[in-house]
């Protein structure tokens, strides 16, 4: 195989923190090359550099032996690099046809409708969307179908390299199989494919070669035939973390503070049931699209279509209503600190007291003294320096921002359940340990703590009980007896259990 795309000495850092260091690899024509790695290994940074979304700090990228200047998505496309972004990048307001043609540099300036529809039909059929009319607005399609449209768009362009970043996270098995078939056809035509995925079984099934990244470095490039899921996990994790006994064993005398019964979110989560004791930490383990974070969002009232019955301290928790959930004692820490969490322009002090304003005064008037004292004590409790109280939150590091976010939920008599989606996403090692201590102390203070995470170490370190999810279904439940490899297997290619 000749090298279609070559990467040499590629490096990129963000705000001084290296994300990718001295990375070299090649993808040959017709080769399906997987990029694997744990969260934060640098996969997405590589994808962004190769697709022209961010420039590398160092290193060279070449296409068919020619050095490539990838200053924009457009420039990358001109060189024949197509992309399926990790985030869904199709436009719901357009029709399926328009989405398929969007950004295609080969699309003619003047639309030739008949030709376009014919081509579009063929492309859709190929990926298993035979029943989809090209003139339907994309907004009428399910999330999985939209993802298929985006994949179809990338595969239908006359590309030399197709990059697919987590293309199957929101797809069913049948849909995934259709995508794999389509990818194989594209590769057979001589196109190079770079495939990024968490689902290791499908990686081994689909790809020819696997490059594993860890902490921004290349650990190994191995023919897929020589790998098993086990050896691949070993490469990704280094030494697989082992499970110690649950920090807090179940207390037989204590009842269940939180009862989740048949929680259901259409298209995302099926029949989730869990009973939880106050004082213990429950971990939901699952990749993107597994339903783990949907459990939390539904409990926080953020899924307008959630059904089921949930009781918190023997009182029914209103679903589908965030104000009601908060009033019933649920505090929620979203996985998207920036757009759905903190008030970034506001000060640390404001953010810390944002959800407890009514308790800081009387008749709707805030008492300055009481507010200050509350902010100070919360800052101390969450490990934030007091002199930062009046700085805008956006000047803090990720770790400290997350402390503010968690600290906001602490020390409130009216909070009974603390829900956290990816509690340490974008947090450095030190901050991570501090946040884990915060969660443990919150549990010790009598809260039910429930968190969702994709990170093995975190799940194993923190979860007294670990529930694994995949494709919206519960796969396994471990009360102090799981190890990293088992969890990884459950999360990546588990068989559907119970």
Partner 1 sequence: MMVSRSGRAEAPPDTPPATGARRRPDPLRLAAGVLVLILLAAGASTDRFLTLDNARAILASTAFVGITAIGATLVMIAGSAVSLAVSQTATVVAMIFLATQPLGLGTSLLLALLCGVTVTAVQGAVIGYWAANPIVLTIAAGFATGGVATWISDGTTVSAEVPRYDVLNSTPLGLPLAVYVLLAVTALAQWTLRRTTAGRQMYLVGENRAAAHAAGLPVGRVTVVAWAFFGACIGLTGVFLASFNTGANSALGGTLTLDAIAAVLAGGTAIAGGRGSALRTLGGALLISIISDVLLLRGYSTGIQILVKGLLVLAVVLTVHLRSVRGRR
Partner 2 sequence: MIRRWTSRPERLLPTVSLLAVVLAFAGSPVLTGDALTTFDVYNALQGFAQLGLLALALGITMIAGEFDLSVVGTYALGGMLAVQTGQSSPALGVLVAVAAGMLIGAAQGGLIARLRIPSLPVTLATYIALLGLTSAMSGGLSKSYPNSDATLWVDRTVAVVFSPRSLITLAAFLLAALVLGRTRLGRELRAIGGDRRASRVAGVRVDRTVVGLFTVSGALAALGGALLSYSYASANPDPGLQPLILAAVAALLGGVSLAGGRGLPLGLLCGTLSVALLAQIVTTAALPDYTTQLLYAALLLGAIDAPGLRAAIGRLRARVPVRSS
Q: Residue 347: is it exposed, middle or buried by C-beta count within 10 angstroms (0-12/13-18/19+)? A: middle
In the window 42-71, what residues touch partner 1 (CB under 8 A)?
A: 42-45, 48
| Whole-angstrom distance, CA of residue 22 vs CA of residue 202 | 28
Dihedral sign, Cα of residue 390, residue 396, residue 400, residue 403: positive
Kindly tell me which of 108 and 249 has the beta carbon lying closer to partner 2.
Answer: 108
Least gap, CB of 256 to partner 1 (angstroms): 23
Q: Which entry of partner 2, partner 1, none binds 102, CB below 5 to 8 A by partner kind?
A: partner 2
Q: Which of 58, 62, 86, 89 binds partner 1 (CB under 8 A)?
A: 86
Which is closer to partner 2, CB of 83 or CB of 353? 83
- Closer Cβ to partner 1, 255 or 304, answer by number: 304
Count the site residues for partner 1 by CB under 8 A. Answer: 69
| Interface contacts to partner 2, rule CB under 8 A | 53, 72-74, 76-77, 83, 85, 87-94, 98, 101-105, 107-111, 113, 136-137, 140, 153, 264, 266, 270, 304-307, 320-321
Q: What is the C-alpha separation between 338 and 335, in angstroms, rounded?
A: 9
Instruction: Tell whether residue 368 is a contact of partner 1 (CB under 8 A).
Output: yes
From the list 193, 206, 205, 204, the residue with the least C-alpha distance to 235 is 204
Q: Which of 250, 318, 392, 480 binds partner 1 (CB under 8 A)?
A: 392
Alpha-carbon distance of 349 to 290, in angstroms, equals 35
The distance of closest approach from Cβ of residue 496 to partner 1 in the complex, given in angstroms and rounded to an integer, is 26
Cα–Cα distance for residue pair 380/314, rounded to 1 Å: 33
Residue from the set 427, 442, 456, 467 that interacts with partner 1 by CB under 8 A: 427
225 makes contact, choosing from partner 1, partner 2, none, with CB < 5 to 8 Å by partner type, with none
Report d(CA 469, CA 284) in Å as an integer. 7
Residues within window 141-200 making contact with partner 1, judged by CB under 8 A: 196
CA distance 264 to 220: 41
Q: Which of residues 270-329 bind partner 1 (CB under 8 A)?
A: 300-302, 322-323, 325-327
Task: In whole angstroms, give the CA distance from residue 498 to residue 496.
Answer: 7
Kindly provide the b/e burial profile for residues 350-386, where b requires at least 16 CB atoms within 10 angstroms of the residue's own CB: bbbbebbeeebeeeeeeeeeebeebbeebbebbbbee
Among the residue ranges 32-40, 118-126, 150-158, 445-453, the one whose residues contact partner 1 (CB under 8 A): 32-40
Identify which of residues 196 and 482 has a Cβ nearer to partner 1 in the complex. Answer: 196
CA distances from 314 to 15, 78, 285, 328 (A): 48, 61, 26, 11
**Going by C-beta distance under 8 Å and a sequence separation of 6 or more, which residues neighbour residue 12?**
18, 19, 20, 45, 49, 54, 56, 57, 58
Work out whether 341 is an interface residue with partner 1 (CB under 8 A): yes
Site membership for partner 1, residue 399 (CB under 8 A) = yes
- Determine which residue in the list 78, 189, 242, 338 makes contact with partner 1, applying CB under 8 A: 338
The Cβ of residue 465 has, within 10 Å, a number of other Cβ atoms equal to 21
Asked if 443 and 263 touch (Cβ cutoff 8 Å), the reply is no
346 touching partner 1, by CB under 8 A = yes
CB of 342 to partner 1, least distance (A): 7
Q: Does 364 bind partner 1 (CB under 8 A)?
A: yes
Task: Please check whether residue 1 is in contact with residue 31, taking contact to mean a CB–CB distance below 8 angstroms.
Answer: yes
Query: Which residues form the interface with partner 1 (CB under 8 A)?
Result: 13-17, 19, 37-45, 48, 86-87, 196, 213, 300-302, 322-323, 325-327, 330, 332, 334, 336-346, 350, 354-355, 357-358, 360-361, 364-366, 368, 388, 391-392, 394-401, 408, 425-428
């Amino acid at each position: 195989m000749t090298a279609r795309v070559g990467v040499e000495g590629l490096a990129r850092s963000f705000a001084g923190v290296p994300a990718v260091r001295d990375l070299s690899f090649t993808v040959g024509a017709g080769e399906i090359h997987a990029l694997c790695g744990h969260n934060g290994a640098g996969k997405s940074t590589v994808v962004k550099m190769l697709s022209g979304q961010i420039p590398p700090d160092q290193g060279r990228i070449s296409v068919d032996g020619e050095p490539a200047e990838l200053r924009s998505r457009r420039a990358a496309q001109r060189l024949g690099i197509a992309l399926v972004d990790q985030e869904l990048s199709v436009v719901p307001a357009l029709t399926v046809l328009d989405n398929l043609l969007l950004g295609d540099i080969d699309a003619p300036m003047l639309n030739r409708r008949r030709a376009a529809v014919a081509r579009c039909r063929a492309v859709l059929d190929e990926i298993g969307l035979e029943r989809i009319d090209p003139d339907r607005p994309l907004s009428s399609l399910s999330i999985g179908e939209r993802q298929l449209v985006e994949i179809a768009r990338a595969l239908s362009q006359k590309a030399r390299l197709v990059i697919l970043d987590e293309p199957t996270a929101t797809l069913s098995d049948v849909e995934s199989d259709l995508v794999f078939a389509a990818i194989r056809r594209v590769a057979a035509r001589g196109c190079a494919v770079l495939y990024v995925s968490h689902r290791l079984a499908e990686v081994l099934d689909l790809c020819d070669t696997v490059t594993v990244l860890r902490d921004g470095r290349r650990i190994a490039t191995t023919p897929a035939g020589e790998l098993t899921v086990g050896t691949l996990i070993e490469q990704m994790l280094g030494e697989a973390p082992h499970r110690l006994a649950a920090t807090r064993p179940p207390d037989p005398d204590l009842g269940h503070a939180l009862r989740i019964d048949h929680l259901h979110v259409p298209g995302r989560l099926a029949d989730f049931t869990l009973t939880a004791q106050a004082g213990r930490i429950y971990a939901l383990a699952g990749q993107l699209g597994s339903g783990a974070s949907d459990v939390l969002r539904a409990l926080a009232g953020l899924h307008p279509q959630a059904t089921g019955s949930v009781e918190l301290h023997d009182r029914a928790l209103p679903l589908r209503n965030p104000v009601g959930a908060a009033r019933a004692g649920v505090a929620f820490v979203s996985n998207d600190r920036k757009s759905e969490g903190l008030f970034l322009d506001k000060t640390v002090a404001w953010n810390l007291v944002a959800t407890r304003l009514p308790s800081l005064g009387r008749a709707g008037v805030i008492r300055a003294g009481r507010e200050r004292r509350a902010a100070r004590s919360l800052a101390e409790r969450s490990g934030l320096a007091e002199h930062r109280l009046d700085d805008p939150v956006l000047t803090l590091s990720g770790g400290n921002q997350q402390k503010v976010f968690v600290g906001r939920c602490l020390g409130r008599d009216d909070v009974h359940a603390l829900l956290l989606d990816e509690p340490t996403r974008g947090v450095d090692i030190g901050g991570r340990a501090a946040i884990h201590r915060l969660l443990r102390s919150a549990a010790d203070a009598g809260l039910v703590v429930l968190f969702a995470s994709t990170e093995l170490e975190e799940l194993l370190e923190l979860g007294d009980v670990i529930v694994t999810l995949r494709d919206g279904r519960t796969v396994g439940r471990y009360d102090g007896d799981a190890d990293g490899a088992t969890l990884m297997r459950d999360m990546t290619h588990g068989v559907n259990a119970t």
